[in-house]
């Protein structure tokens, strides 16, 4: 049994010694002390079905034995900076990652986070093209560094950084977007940005295939291929931010962009690829990667042996346990059951997403789509009491984010939907 500090004791320390900017979920935050596959356990030994997975960071399941073994074994042998000497772990993982990507996307640069990966992707695109302008989508989240906070387009996640050369295109959001599902109009907006907001040449277009932080927002069908086309005509590169939607999560494909029939020039990866270990990557073509050899570029721990050993183990587990197939099967079933809830509760305005990247948007008026953040919080709290953890997102804080470990079962899905159903019925 757990004999460590209580939640209140930790909270008191946090208040005194940690930045007040650190967020936590729930009125009384959970003191989690253990994780196993799709379950978390609190200090009282209570089990929770984890349907948020540390914000889509846990893909194989908490403390997956193969991943733990890879980390422990490598730690016992060697943990070190990435640079200076050779070690096989980074090279092995790079090769394995390349084997999962299409086309000539085969050269990796490793980082410690998604932010770092996107910062580097933006830098590479600017170096390679000689242009400065970046186009990202409104409602996106790409990180909290100087460049990525500029590319991020939600005021709630931005400070007053200098947004040098970043343009935010109208979000092709079929539910809340200005042009509904009319991809052509959204594409025209990007063309107008290029024509009237830049010299005509751009460095890159960056987007997620499904927005995560933004509230699991899918794109109007046909948008991405058309935008990739016009961005390339303007000399720009196309960057796919796969930090949340990549690594088998969407089920139908290994990468989110694949469902759109496009091949990006640069792909950024983080979160799930490390199953909870800090690991990020930028994967691109050998030609684009060369742009970064003009000066020294250095990252002490990016691609270190322990983290890349974890990454390799993650890829093997996904294959061995058919987690992509499971994300598709269980994710589709879960989405079906959530969609059925929509018929029961007026408050549910939209159910969307793919595989195990699902969103449920709450509105007090379906016609006006008035966000219902208070009801969202209420249901989340109730579900926690019933033993189910989900996330929340969207600009208005009114979207449930359901991003469980990919080993989530049908029984877990049933338990989640039943708990949600009961919580709604009690409102």
Instruction: Give the binding site for ligand PMP (CB under 6 A).
Output: 55, 113-115, 118, 141-143, 208, 212-213, 241, 243-244, 270
Residue 40 phi, psi (nearest 5): -120, 150
Of 145 and 236, CB closest to ligand PMP: 145
Of 90 and 270, CB closest to ligand PMP: 270
Q: How far is the CB of 116 from ligand PMP (least distance, A)?
A: 7
Q: How far is the CB of 370 from ligand PMP (least distance, A)?
A: 26
The answer to whether 315 and 100 have CB atoms below 8 angstroms apart is yes
How buried is residue 80: exposed, middle or buried, by Cβ count under 10 Å (0-12/13-18/19+)?
middle
Q: How far is the CB of 212 from ligand PMP (least distance, A)?
A: 4
Residue number with the smallest Cβ distance to ligand PMP: 114
Of 212 and 305, CB closest to ligand PMP: 212
Q: How far is the CB of 346 from ligand PMP (least distance, A)?
A: 30
Alpha helices in 130-243 (DSSP H): 146-151, 183-197, 223-233
Residue with tokens 């909290």: 144
- Write out the DSSP string of 116-142: HHHHHHHHHHHHHHS---EEEETT---
Of 137 and 338, CB closest to ligand PMP: 137
Cα Dmax for the chain: 64
Q: How far is the CB of 62 from ligand PMP (least distance, A)?
A: 18
Of 67 and 347, CB closest to ligand PMP: 67
Of 212 and 215, CB closest to ligand PMP: 212
Q: How far is the CB of 344 from ligand PMP (least distance, A)?
A: 31
Do strands 39-42 and 166-169 pair parallel, antiparallel, or not at all (unpaired)? Answer: unpaired
Q: Is 305 helix (H, G, I), strand (E, B) or coil?
A: helix
Q: Is 354 helix (H, G, I), strand (E, B) or coil?
A: strand
Which residue from 421, 402, 396, 391 is spatially nearest to 353, judged by alpha carbons? 402
The answer to whether 151 and 122 have CB atoms below 8 angstroms apart is yes
């Amino acid at each position: 049994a757990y004999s460590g500090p209580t939640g209140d004791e930790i909270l008191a320390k946090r208040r005194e010694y940690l930045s007040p900017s650190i967020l936590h979920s729930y009125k009384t935050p959970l003191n989690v002390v253990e994780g196993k596959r799709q379950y978390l356990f609190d200090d009282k030994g209570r089990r929770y079905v984890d349907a948020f997975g540390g914000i889509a960071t846990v893909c194989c399941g908490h403390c997956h034995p193969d991943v733990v073994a890879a980390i422990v074994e490598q730690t016992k042998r060697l943990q070190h900076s990435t640079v200076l000497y050779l070690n096989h772990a980074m090279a092995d993982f790079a090769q394995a990652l390349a084997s999962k990507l299409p086309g000539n996307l085969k050269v990796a640069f490793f980082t410690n986070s998604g932010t770092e990966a996107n910062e580097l992707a933006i830098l590479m695109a600017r170096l390679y093209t000689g242009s400065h302008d970046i186009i990202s989508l409104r409602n996106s989240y790409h990180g909290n560094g100087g460049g990525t906070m500029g590319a991020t387009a939600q005021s709630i996640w931005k400070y007053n950084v200098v947004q040098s050369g970043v343009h935010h295109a109208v979000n092709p959001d079929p539910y809340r977007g200005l042009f509904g599902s009319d991809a052509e109009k959204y594409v025209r907006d990007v063309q107008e940005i290029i024509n009237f907001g830049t010299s005509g040449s751009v460095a890159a277009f960056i987007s997620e295939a499904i927005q995560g932080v933004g509230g699991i927002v899918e794109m109007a069908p046909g948008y991405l291929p058309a935008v990739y086309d016009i961005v390339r005509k303007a000399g720009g590169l196309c960057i796919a931010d796969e930090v949340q939607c990549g690594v088998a999560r969407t089920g139908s494909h290994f990468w989110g962009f694949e469902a759109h029939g496009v091949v990006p020039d640069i792909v950024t990866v983080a979160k799930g690829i490390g199953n909870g270990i800090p690991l990020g990557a930028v994967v691109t073509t050998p030609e684009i990667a060369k742009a970064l050899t003009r000066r020294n570029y250095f990252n002490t721990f990016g691609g270190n042996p322990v983290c890349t050993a974890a990454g390799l183990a993650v890829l093997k587990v996904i294959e061995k346990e058919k987690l992509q197939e499971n994300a598709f099967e269980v994710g589709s079933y879960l989405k079906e059951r959530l969609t059925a809830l929509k018929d029961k509760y007026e408050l549910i305005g939209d159910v969307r997403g793919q595989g195990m990247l699902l969103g449920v948007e709450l509105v007090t008026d379906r016609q006006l789509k008035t966000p219902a953040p208070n009801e969202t919080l209420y249901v989340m709290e109730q579900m926690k009491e019933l033993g189910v953890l989900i996330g929340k997102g969207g600009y208005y804080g009114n979207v449930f984010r359901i991003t469980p470990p990919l080993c989530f079962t049908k029984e877990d899905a049933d338990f989640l939907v039943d708990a949600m159903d009961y919580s709604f019925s009690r409102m």
